Structure 1
Amino acid sequence: MDGDRGNWLTGFGFTMLTCNSSLEIYQSKGDAWSVAFVVPAYLLAVLLLFWCLMLYMGAAPNEARRWKLKIAIWTLLTFLTAMFSYKGSELMLWPVAVVVWAMTVVASFGVCYEFFIHRNRY
């Protein structure tokens, strides 16, 4: 039962994300920078991230492919976080933008530490 609900929620989430991304591209009215932000964020980062996570969860614990998938997941998470930090920091005063970027760096190193130093957990 939980698996059915999870699949339904995942499908609903992707549907909402697709609608939101499509509306953003439509409302950009030809603004190339907005489209250049939405398309990589959606196609490259989010879809590729979830695909890598699905492969990672299905891989055997001692499989060499798991290590490569960890690197791909960390890279995609860092890329996605940096993209949203860039977009969000444009709207803020520079001291707040510095804090946002500092949090991005800390989060990236935190995920790296958890994924690669404590590799027995994951």
Structure 2
Amino acid sequence: MDRDGRPGWLPSLGFAFLSFNCGMAIYRSGGDPSSVAFIAVAYLALVALFLCLHLLEQAPAQAGRRRRPLKVAVWGLSTLLTLMFSLKVAAIMPIWGAVAVWGMGIGTIAAGFYAFFVHREAP
């Protein structure tokens, strides 16, 4: 981050790379509406997640009430992305692989919930 709150050149480059790759994925999807919808929702969720993470980092640690909706948004968006990608990956795996993918996805979601809402840091 720059001193005035704008992202530096490296996050901007990463965002441009993400945007380019999503555009190419939509182009290569062959006009399949479900693929285009998946790419668009994943892209929008990632952008919203990065924005919420930025706002969460900027919020003072003492402002618990102000941070709670941001934590809910970050956990919700990361849960959405985990479920979306688990669904896509599990669909091309054998059954034992799909079970492993879903197990890791659910474990990640549960660990994120614990880290954001249950665990309390020592004073």
Q: Which runs of 5+ in 2 are unaligned?
A: none
The structure that is helix-richer by fraction is 1
Displacement of 1:115 after TM fit? 1.1
Deviations 1:89-114 (Å, cap 9, x if unpaired)?
11111111011001000000001111
TM-superposed deviation, 1:9: 1.6
What CA distance in whole angstroms lies between the structure 1 residues aligned with 2:15 and 2:29?
A: 21
| Inter-CA distance 119–47: structure 2 relative to 1 (3 Å threshold) | farther
Q: Residues 18-41 of structure 1, C-alpha deviation per residue, up to 9 Å, x if partnerless?
A: 010000101112101110110000
> How far has the Cα of 1:3 moved from its partner?
5.5
Equivalent residues, number: 118
Q: Does 1:52 align with 2:33?
A: no
2:44 is the alignment partner of 1:35: no
Instruction: Give 3-state SS (helix, strand or coil) of 2:8's partner.
Output: helix
Aligned-pair CA distance for 1:80: 0.4
Partner of 1:114 in structure 2? 115
Q: Distance in 1 between matches of 2:21 and 2:54?
A: 23
User: Cα gap change, 1:82/1:51 in structure 2, threshold over 3 Å: closer, same or farther?
Assistant: same
Distance 2:113 2:88 in 1: 23
Instruction: Indicate the SS of the match to 1:86.
Output: helix
Residue 118 of structure 1: how far off its partner (Å): 2.0
* In 1, Cα distance between equivalents of 2:21 and 2:90: 21
2: distance between equivalents of 1:54 and 1:76? 14
The RMSD of aligned alpha carbons is: 1.8
User: TM-score, length-normalised on structure 2?
Assistant: 0.88
Q: What is aligned with 2:76?
A: 75
